[in-house]
Amino acid sequence: MSSNPAIVVSDLSVEYPARGPSASCVALRGINVRVETGEVLGVLGETGSGKSTLAAILAGRGLPLRASEPGPRISGGDATVLGKSLRKAKKRDLAEVTFHVGYLAQDAANTLEPSLTISDNVALPIFERDEHYSRRAAGARAATMLDTVHLPLSVLSKYPYELSAGQRQRVALARALVLGPSVLVADEPTAGIDATVRDAVIDLLAQLRDHEGFSAVIVSHDLSVLRRASDNTIVLQGGRVVGYGPIEDVLADPQHPFVDGLAKALKPPQRRTQRRTRRTEKNR
């Protein structure tokens, strides 16, 4: 394992500036976390906790290059991704980060270009980098990536509307991986897909974890994703980290009231027969 971490987040605060009638909003407050090369970090939290903002920042997406542009601002601390500081990143720095960091946004299945074939959708990041790239080589790369996400090559010539939601999600994942990124940032990769396909996506994320030097940040409310595909997990509430460690350890020994409530909510209900047995033993 490389001695250089893939991601270092140091006292990171992020806010969305006031625009028109909308007041400014602080999304992240003093976040500290480190992702080693080869490590997968899970991110868990309630709606509005800052999960998606953190994912977008670490993927180098959405950061405005000018004060007049909309989007989140790093208002304190810094995030360093593959050695590049994002606090005062220039266009060239962000381009390098986005080249090496694959990003699967929330609802990524709905972001496929409807007028392009699946092959062209997967290859799109290649042509965004180099419009003169060989179409044959790009097609071969797209085919390899579809095989990686366990989709048949017969879908290459199809269009997004011809595929199921689960298939489109896997196409979006193939697109996020097509440039061979060192880091994958996936925001709710299993949201909105049925249980059988969800398991296939989780298995794929777990397999990617076994690739040497591959690092990832996976935002998910799905515990099965975090259990099978992450090494450590941070829990966010109100933009702050309120839990960190292997997900089972975090839930088994909550160090914050929010995590305690989360652990109790996720605890499976006792079976009626178990309760009846206890009552019987108590009355003996």
- Model confidence over 98-144: pLDDT tens digits? 999 999 998 888 899 999 999 999 999 999 989 999 999 999 999 99
Considering the entire predicted model, what is its pTM? 0.87
- Alpha-carbon span 129 to 137, nearest angstrom: 14
Pairing, β 73-81 against β 7-16: antiparallel
pLDDT digits (tens, 9 = 90+) for 151-174: 999 999 999 999 998 899 899 999
Per-residue pLDDT, 193:
77
The beta-strand segments (E) located in 20-100 are 25-35, 40-45, 73-81, 84-85
- Whether the CA torsion 144, 122, 118, 110 is positive or negative: it is positive
Spatial contact of 101 and 181, defined as CB atoms under 8 Å apart? yes
Answer yes or no: is pLDDT of 267 > 90. Answer: no
Ordered alpha helix ranges (H), the chain: 51-58, 91-100, 118-129, 135-148, 165-177, 195-209, 223-229, 247-252, 257-266, 272-283
pLDDT digits (tens, 9 = 90+) for 220-256: 988 889 999 999 999 999 999 999 999 999 999 998 9
User: For the chain, which domains are there?
Assistant: 7-283 (3.40.50.300)
Q: Is 189 left (phi over 0), alpha (psi -120 to 50) or beta?
A: alpha
Measured from the Cβ of residue 247, the count of other Cβ atoms closer than 10 Å reads 21
pLDDT digits (tens, 9 = 90+) for 172-195: 999 999 999 999 999 999 887 777
Per-residue pLDDT, 42:
96
Could you give the C-alpha distances from 235 to 33, 55, 117, 209, 215, in angstroms and in order? 11, 13, 38, 20, 19
